[in-house]
Amino acid sequence: MPGLRTMTLPSKCLNCDVELSIPIVCGGCHTLYPIPQTANYFDLLGLPQQFDLDGEKLSDTYRAIARNIHPDRFAGQATEMDLLATKLSAQVNEAWRVLKDPVRRAEYLLELANGPSAADCREVPGDLLARVMMLREDLEEARDQSDEQTLTSLRCSIQDERDHAFDNIAKRANDLSLANDTEKKAFRQLLNSIKYFDSLLADFASDPLSQGNPQQ
Amino acid sequence: MAYSEKVVDHYENPRNVGSLDKSSIDVGTGIVGAPECGDVMKLQIKIDEDDRIVEAKFKTFGCGSAIASSSLATEWVKGKTLDEALQIKNTEIVEELALPPVKIHCSVLAEDAVRAAISDVKNKRDAGASDKPTAAEQGVS
């Protein structure tokens, strides 16, 4: 795969011969290049394909690229450049949306490693579903009784469990390309568990009592 | 998205909400979830000695369609034998509640919950009938 990628991605600008740091736009003369079929989101932003990314660098990189390929920059030029800029911008925005969120990034790395999608594997680790059901019931009861103390402690323990699951994801996400099928499935189960925790936490966010905001 | 009248009816007046004693040998519990949206559904059935479902309860934390699907499922399984209840298809739930395509997964969840509850109570009964220590072990795990 890496060999194929270097063959299809231009390494130097065909217009001004400047080294291309990302494959879709020249930093020197702003010539645009169509996205090669083999390029993934990391390639698009010129980032290493790994889970650990410097968040600030990621933002800076995205902004610089987005500026360079912004369709406004090519308005009035040859129509195909204008169209290409629009298409590239959409792809770069999508790449940014996925990569800036650590959970989505982990999910995307699993996809690149040909791991199971959420539709392929809907399981969660161990008896987590029973645990989520219990948390939901406790939450409902605490709300019915306006028991703020229990609500606060529930929220903390859900956040702790979410953090714990996320730590496990972070530990394994860089090695997915070497993982076997069992490990990839376990990774998908962890990702699924995050969805349940986030749904619980979102429920807190929409709850006026636990927010201490009677206006909502 | 507008819900059908039947969904609204089940949502506003859910049938059979609640819990049964999950440690009881004649109670089967199925807990299922949808990772896409974080919905969770618990469906419990109680059987008599002829494998007929005499009681069904559910608790669903999710959207209106998920609540309506599980509410309807508890109504449908009551009075059926386990084998008859296994015949319930999610497509029948979709039809009855006029669920739109984006909500079909809610009916799948309800069907899965019924199946999980049936399989739970069958396991319990088989283990209890053949070998008591095994039943105890299963209770632990």
To 10 degrees, the CA torsion angle through A48, A53, A54, A60? 60
What's residue A207's pLDDT? Answer: 61
Closest in A137, A196, A200 to B59, CB measured:
A137
* Domain contains A114: no
What's residue A184's pLDDT? Answer: 97
Q: Would the CB atoms of B40 and A195 count as touching at under 8 Å?
A: no
Q: Are A77 and A144 members of one domain?
A: no
What's residue A214's pLDDT? Answer: 39
Fold classified for B5-126: Sufe protein. Chain: A (3.90.1010)
* Domain contains A166: yes
Which residues of B does the annotation mark as catalytic?
37, 106
Å between B3 CA and nearest CA of chain A: 22
In chain B, where are the structural domains located? 5-126
* Domain of A11, in residue numbers: 2-100
Name the domain count of chain A: 2
Q: What is the ipTM of this complex?
A: 0.83
List, as ranges, residues 19-78 from B with C-beta within 8 Å of A: 31-40, 42, 59, 61
Asked whether residue B138 carries a pLDDT value surpassing 80, the answer given is: no
B3-43 per-position pLDDT tens digit = 889 899 998 899 999 999 999 999 999 999 998 888 999 99
For chain A, helix, strand, coil in percent to 5 are 65, 0, 35
Q: Are A143 and A75 members of one domain?
A: no
* CATH code, domain with A39: 1.10.287.110
- Domain limit, last residue, from A47, A80, A100: A100
Mutual angle of helices B132-140 and B104-130, in 10-degree steps: 140
Of the pLDDT bands very low, low, confident and very high (cuts 50, 70, 90), residue A8 is low
Å between A99 CA and nearest CA of chain B: 19
Q: Would the CB atoms of A118 and B39 count as touching at under 8 Å?
A: no
* Domain contains A139: yes
Nearest CA in chain B to A199: B38
Helix (H) or strand (E) holding A141: helix A128-144
Helix (H) or strand (E) holding B91: helix B90-97
Q: Are A17 and A96 members of one domain?
A: yes
* Domain contains A159: yes
Section A98-110 average pLDDT: 96
Nearest CA in chain B to A120: B35
